[in-house]
A and B are shown apart, each in its own frame.
Chain A
Amino acid sequence: MADTTPIVASPLQFIQGEADGYCDPVTGLCMLPGAPNPPHLVTGEIPAAP
């Protein structure tokens, strides 16, 4: 069996800083030079609890 153990990550702390690039998990679009980019991503922002 593959390891399906749920990762225990609460509370997850995000590093401070800025990503060089990423792909948007919702739209699947990726930051590419000259592309209509997803919003700029700055790490370190902890999302509000749902």
Chain B
Amino acid sequence: MGTTTQAADTARLTIDVWADVLCPWCYLGEQRLDAAVEQSGHAGDIDLKARTFQLDPDAPAGVVATLDYLSRKYGVPAAQARSMEEGMARQAASEGLKYEVNRPASSTFDLLRLVKLGDRHGVSWQYLRGMQAEVFGGNFDAFGHATLISIGEGLGIPGQEIRDVLATGRYGEQVRADHATAVAMGARGVPFTVLGQRLGIPGAVSTSQYADAISQAWERLNG
């Protein structure tokens, strides 16, 4: 973070995003943020970094249907859970995102540990988004080791490193530390985005709001 390129003498802008794999607003917010970065004119000088925030430590260890999970979690009838999800699906579709109402849910702790492994390889953002694409795309094997290894290998992470993390508790402390950091910083909504270590955005905002924030942060850094 904060390194200076020799060619243009501009400082790189790091954008940290605290998110969870199952978080619908993270999924939408990340898409908007990616679009804002592309529109910024500084995409080559911006580093997007996923920070982890486990929203439901009590989520089931096994894979369950999201509608059943939400019905229990929110204490609403199954029909209401479906209606809630269909509303989000329409919102996601309007933004070009696949969002299956019938999709898997499970504990995300192991996935978030892998995001931290991805961080070691400089692909935390891509790994998180790859996992979300599988989950929200309705792949009921999204939490399976084969899927997680396949996504990671596609990003250049050696499969054996992924297997080693899955076989151990590695990066668990880092996941918990990320959570504590976000809380300490006053995160009142997830996704929680921090630009240039100074400008915070709780929750998912519009692409134009992300673009304005990038412009502000860039100006502070390089203005």
**Would you call B189 and A4 a contact (CB within 8 A)?**
no
**Would you call A20 and B204 a contact (CB within 8 A)?**
yes
Name the distance in Å between B194's Cβ and chain A's nearest Cβ: 6
Name the distance in Å between B32's Cβ and chain A's nearest Cβ: 9
Per-residue A-contact encoding for B166-177, CB less than 8 Å = 1, 0 else:
000001001001
A32 in contact with B24 given A22-B202, A24-B189 (CB within 8 Å): yes
A30 in contact with B23 given A2-B119, A17-B205, A36-B76 (CB within 8 Å): yes
Question: Which residues of chain A are within 8 angstroms of B23 by Cβ–Cβ distance?
Answer: 23, 30
Write the chain B residue with the least CB distance to A46: B186
**Would you call A12 and B194 a contact (CB within 8 A)?**
yes
Question: Which residues of chain B are within 8 angstroms of A7 by Cβ–Cβ distance?
Answer: 16, 181, 185, 194, 197
Bound complex: CA of A32 vs CA of B193, how far in Å? 20
The answer to the question of B146 belonging to the interface, with a C-beta cut-off of 8 Å to chain A, is no
Interface secondary structure of A, over-half rule: loop
Name the distance in Å between B26's Cβ and chain A's nearest Cβ: 7
Interface set of A (CB-CB < 8 Å, partner B): 1-9, 11-15, 17-25, 28-36, 41, 43, 45-47
Interface set of B (CB-CB < 8 Å, partner A): 1, 16, 20, 23-26, 28, 53, 55-56, 70, 73-76, 80, 83-88, 91, 116-117, 119-120, 171, 174, 177, 181-183, 185-192, 194, 197-206, 209, 212-213, 216
| Residue contacts A-B, CB under 8 angstroms, 8 given | A4-B177, A11-B198, A15-B205, A15-B216, A25-B189, A33-B83, A35-B76, A41-B203
